[in-house]
Amino acid sequence: MTLRYMPGFGNDFETESLPGALPQGQNSPQRCAYGLYAEQLSGSPFTAPRGTNERSWLYRIRPSVRHTGRFQPVSNDHWKTAPNIADHEMALGQLRWNPLPLPNRPTDFIAGMRTMTTAGDVHTQVGMAAHAYVLNEAMVDDYFFNADGELLVVPQQGGLRVHTEMGVMDVTPAEICVLPRGMIFKVEPLEETSRGYVCENYGAKFTLPDRGPIGANCLANPRDFKTPVAWYEEKETPCRLTVKWCGRFYVTEIGHSPLDVVAWHGNYAPYKYDLRTYSPVGAILFDHPDPSIFTVLTAPSGEAGTANIDFVIFPERWMVAEHTFRPPWYHRNIMSEFMGLIYGQYDAKEEGFVPGGMSLHNMMLPHGPDTMGFEKASGAELQPMKLTGTMAFMFETRFPQHLTRFAAELDTLQDNYLDCWTGLKKRFNGTPEGNWD
Ligand SMILES: O=C(O)Cc1cc(O)ccc1O
Ligand SMILES: [Fe+2]
């Protein structure tokens, strides 16, 4: 299957997989071509301002209302939703985990989802959840949609083929994809096993950050975002559609595939993005900028400059700053930082933070480079140096991130994480030179 994509971020796209399936000049003809049903899928209130107004028109074999029967509650013990506070006994702290073990039983994308943190409140559409996933099984007759928010998927090992109502995307490590709230999809692993991270955004959709004085180019460029062309599955076999709605899961049985959209147009659609096409902008003389300069996507909270979520990456780049401590500085932030590593080494933590691993530095908890990182960077000869083969990321939110019981009890939690800073010794000796021995 050759997959095709259309470039652009938030464009008004149009695509048809059969000629003439897409009506021209109107949305709702008396009779649609091919006997299709017209249906609108809204991602914003009808009356949202033009810049944030999102909807698509789908021309499909059956309307969505025929893709849901009576819902039955089902359990999903590991996919948690905010508010999910005081779910465990673990005390506050800076935390780090080794990767989730790969599954040894058949596990699909939904069953393999493990919530690490939740923030905000799904009922008021604020906040997020940080998940890690592992899978080794394709969803074949199983479909899913999440009414609680859009899903930003970050594969770390093994790619995913994501079949959505609006087309099919292959997403491999160093690429991400975004599945809009309410969009039906199924996932298959591209290799025997896959692992990655997901940010579930309960709030306003991810968008590109304003570039301010940087101007019209660099960072994430709109044309590097790819939306799949229309594709449909005509399948009259028993299928199940699982729905996540206000933190609960429901399933409904249907006799056909719900991925039956033959043509669509509009600006509410899934997309993928290759993080290697991000053009980082940074300090080219001295000092270390705030990590917000590496924002790929931001989900606004309604308060200026105070994101519900920033999705930030730490890609390969040149380090050239003079007379500067080049890794991240020590800091305490009002925002809460969940980090993951897709591949390579992170400059503040060369050891211990491994690909597939995770860390959580919550609201106002101090953190920064480990002892080795500090010593190396404060003694380094400051030649231009390229950080190569590395891709870390951060889900940063204005809300505190509450740990799930699963995360608190996970075997891969590193008991000795705090030790990475204990070697940071007193160098103050009352003289301006300090003690650098
Ligand atoms: O904590 C971290 O490693 C992420 C981070 C990186 C950086 O360059 C500056 C601040 C920050 O929180
Ligand atoms: Fe930080």
Chain segment 321-350, per-residue pLDDT in tens: 999 999 999 999 999 999 999 999 999 898
Structure tokens at 171: 């997403």
**What ipTM, to 2 d.p.?**
0.99
Cα separation, 74 vs 253, in Å, equals 12
202 close to 246: Cβ distance less than 8 angstroms = no
The β-bridge partners of 145 are 243
Test site for ligand 1: of 394, 397, 417, most ligand atoms within 8 A of the Cβ = 394
Specify the residue for token string 């695509």: 15
- The pLDDT tens digits for 298-320 are 999 999 999 999 999 999 999 99
Domain boundaries, the chain: 5-13+68-261+268-275, 278-421
Please report the beta strands in 13-67, taking only residues with DSSP state E, as ranges in sequence order: 13-16, 37-42, 55-60
Domains 5-13+68-261+268-275 and 278-421 share a fold: yes
The catalytic residues are 288
DSSP string, 233-299: ----S-EEEEEEETTEEEEEEESS-S--EEEEEES---EEEEGGG-B----SSBS---GGGGEEEEE
pLDDT at residue 348, rounded to an integer: 87
CATH topology of domain 278-421: Jelly Rolls (2.60.120)
Ligand 1: distance of its center to the CA of 164 in Å?
34
What pLDDT is stored for residue 86 in this prediction?
A: 81
Strand, coil or helix: what is 333?
Answer: coil
Is 256 annotated in some ligand binding site?
Answer: no
Atom of ligand 1 nearest to the CA of 361: 1
Task: Give first-to-last CA distance, the chain, whole Å.
Answer: 61
Instruction: Answer whether 60 contacts ligand 1 (Cβ < 6 A).
Output: no
Does the annotation list 331 as a binding residue?
yes
User: Which secondary-structure segment (H or E) carries 89?
Assistant: none
Q: What proportion of the chain, given as a percentage, has pLDDT over 70?
A: 100
Query: CA-CA distance, 114 to 3, in Å (whole number)?
Result: 29
Return the CATH fold of 5-13+68-261+268-275: Jelly Rolls (2.60.120)
Residue labelled with tokens 């006799």: 255
pLDDT at residue 375 tops 90: yes
Residue 152 to residue 150: CA distance in whole angstroms = 7
* pLDDT at residue number 67: 83
Q: Residue 337 annotated as binding?
A: yes
Ligand 1, residue 346: give the atom nearest the CA.
3
Averaged pLDDT, 388-401: 98
For residue range 254-278, list pLDDT tens digits in order. 999 999 999 999 999 999 999 999 9
Read off the pTM: 0.98
Contacts of 202 (CB under 8 A, 6+ apart): 82, 120, 121, 122, 125, 126, 127, 128, 129, 148, 149, 308
Q: Compute φ and ψ for 418, nearest 5 degrees.
A: -60, -25
Tens digit of pLDDT for each residue in 172-224?
A: 999 999 999 999 999 999 999 999 999 999 999 999 999 999 999 999 999 99
331 lines ligand 1 (CB under 6 A): yes
For residue 289, say if its preceding peptide bond is cis, omega within 30 degrees of 0: no
